[in-house]
Structure 1
Amino acid sequence: MSRAVRRRWWWFLWGLLTVLAFGIAGYFVPPYLVGGTTIPNLDRITPGYYTSLVIHGVPAGIALITGPWQFVHRLRTRFPRLHRVLGRVYLISVVAASVPAAYAAAVTKSGFPLQVAFFALIVAWLYTAAKAYRAIRRREIQLHRVWMIRNYTLTFAAVTLRLYQLPLLALMHSVSWLPYKDVYTVSAWMSLLGNVLIAEWFIIQRTLAPLARREPVAAGNND
């Protein structure tokens, strides 16, 4: 595959990712701001549960729509100050969204498997954010990018969770034995595990593979 073809594919995938991020944030976050929701039969009885979703949704939406711009090389090189500002906004949003998400996961009545999935996502979300911040503070640019790829794929789980729900919801409406709680749980696990695998594949292909291809040449030059 030529370099031009790879670039076109990269921009196509980046554009698709960005459109989906803006679409999901624009569809799911605004209803919370006016006391509504897009989730059917949402629990409004458990104290603080709905409020935690509202507090989580706003910074999570900000992280979702600011993240894609961090991966545009032209933006990073031409506007480094803007890149740093957006990076701070993004990382602060991740932390701000994680705290209410942890409370919502703790009190949800959707079952233990869903709680485990969300807690695993939150821990990984905060851990990768901390590693990305630590790397950039040490000026380890390449390592910072690797951790940011991992972190944003976890942020993007908000999108893939909804995408996985579409066929499962269609199945739910066609059968009587599949409750929405199970649809949501399966979608959460698929989005978490699937996004992690995609992130690692991308890191290997875009970061480690080029380094491995150059290593024998460097070794030969040392002989």
Structure 2
Amino acid sequence: MQIETKRKLTIGALYFTIALFAVYIFVMFLLNGVEWSPIVKGKMKNPDFSLTMWKLFFYPHIFLGTISLAIGPFQLTKISRRKPKLHKMLGKIYAVAIFINILVVPYISLSATGGRGTMIAFLVLNALWLWTTAMGVIKATQRKISAHKEWILRSYAITWVFVTFRIVVIPFSLFLDSSVAFPIAVYLAIVINLLFVEWRKQKNKKLPSGRKIPASNPVI
């Protein structure tokens, strides 16, 4: 009962944070238009920057990223585990949203705040996103449920960089130029999230095994 209570609190905290993040995205980029965002105003100083083209890539990026964030916690709930068809359907939506997002990130990275260092950091993030999500999908199709769960949790940790980066970058931006602050924040967010997942994995190994998902019930 205590474990389940902790799980519910964790899922609730995740959704509360996602809701705050969604409000932030709406206010910062959608309420008055992205061109009024301080970050975007900085990009518009570049004569080669095309706001119209950038929007075509940026809006799908934030929309699909938010969908991926929202699906993750639900997949950990009892409702999802008891409904394999729903779990599989949401898993497919999660994977497709990420794979499409992976295609739009490179263009957005070309005009990333902070220049080439930030661009490279986002491309590294994108490669990790592709790797962890693809491995999760492959393990699911192979019915290797434990391995699938581990890789999807890593994938979600990378997805969560969507949020973590925007928190981590704040203190760095107060003292460092964006060309330094932004790349450091991206890499640090990746490390923090992946280390947390690995720490949780090791901690869970010490707990009694829970209900196993039959091999006949594909996960995604």
| TM bracket, shorter-chain basis | 0.7 to 0.9
Residue 86 of structure 1 is matched in structure 2 by 90
Q: In structure 1, how many angstroms separate the alpha carbons of the residues matched to 2:73 and 2:169? A: 23
Q: In structure 2, how many angstroms separate the alpha carbons of the residues matched to 1:131 and 1:23? A: 30
Residue 165 of structure 1 is matched in structure 2 by 169
Larger relative contact order (Cα-Cα within 8 Å, sequence gap ≥ 6): 2
Q: 1:29 to 1:146 in 2, by over 3 A?
A: farther
Residue 11 of structure 1 is matched in structure 2 by 8
Q: In structure 1, how many angstroms separate the alpha carbons of the residues matched to 2:153 and 2:97? A: 16
Q: Name the count of aligned residue pairs.
A: 201
Which SS does the other structure have where 1:41 is aligned?
helix
Residue 57 of structure 2 is matched in structure 1 by 52
Query: How far did 1:51 drift?
Result: 3.2
- Cα distance per residue 1:1-30 (max 9 Å; x no partner): xxx433333322221112112321342157
Q: In structure 2, how many angstroms separate the alpha carbons of the residues matched to 1:116 and 1:124? A: 12
Structure 1 regions of 5+ residues with no counterpart? 212-223
Q: In structure 2, how many angstroms separate the alpha carbons of the residues matched to 1:8 and 1:189? A: 32
Which SS does the other structure have where 1:71 is aligned?
coil
Contact preservation (8 Å) 1:117, 1:188: yes
Residue 130 of structure 1 is matched in structure 2 by 134
Query: How far did 1:54 drift?
Result: 1.9
Identity %: 22
Residue 143 of structure 1 is matched in structure 2 by 147
Residue 189 of structure 2 is matched in structure 1 by 191
- Cα distance per residue 1:100-124 (max 9 Å; x no partner): 1122113435223212221111111
For the pair shown, the structure with the greater C-alpha radius of gyration is 1
Contact preservation (8 Å) 1:153, 1:196: yes
TM-score by length of 2: 0.79
Residue 216 of structure 2 is matched in structure 1 by none
Q: In structure 1, how many angstroms separate the alpha carbons of the residues matched to 2:159 and 2:36? A: 19
Q: In structure 1, how many angstroms separate the alpha carbons of the residues matched to 2:186 and 2:90? A: 27
Contact preservation (8 Å) 2:161, 2:190: yes
Q: In structure 2, how many angstroms separate the alpha carbons of the residues matched to 1:123 and 1:34? A: 32
Q: In structure 2, how many angstroms separate the alpha carbons of the residues matched to 1:19 and 1:205? A: 24
Supply the RMSD in Å over aligned alpha carbons. Answer: 2.6
Residue 19 of structure 2 is matched in structure 1 by 22
Contact preservation (8 Å) 2:125, 2:158: yes
Q: In structure 1, how many angstroms separate the alpha carbons of the residues matched to 2:185 and 2:136? A: 27
Q: In structure 1, how many angstroms separate the alpha carbons of the residues matched to 2:20 and 2:177? A: 26
Residue 214 of structure 1 is matched in structure 2 by none
- Cα distance per residue 1:21-69 (max 9 Å; x no partner): 2321342157348742685232135233343222211111111111111
Residue 159 of structure 2 is matched in structure 1 by 155
Q: In structure 2, how many angstroms separate the alpha carbons of the residues matched to 1:107 and 1:37? A: 14
For 1:8, give the aligned amino acid. T
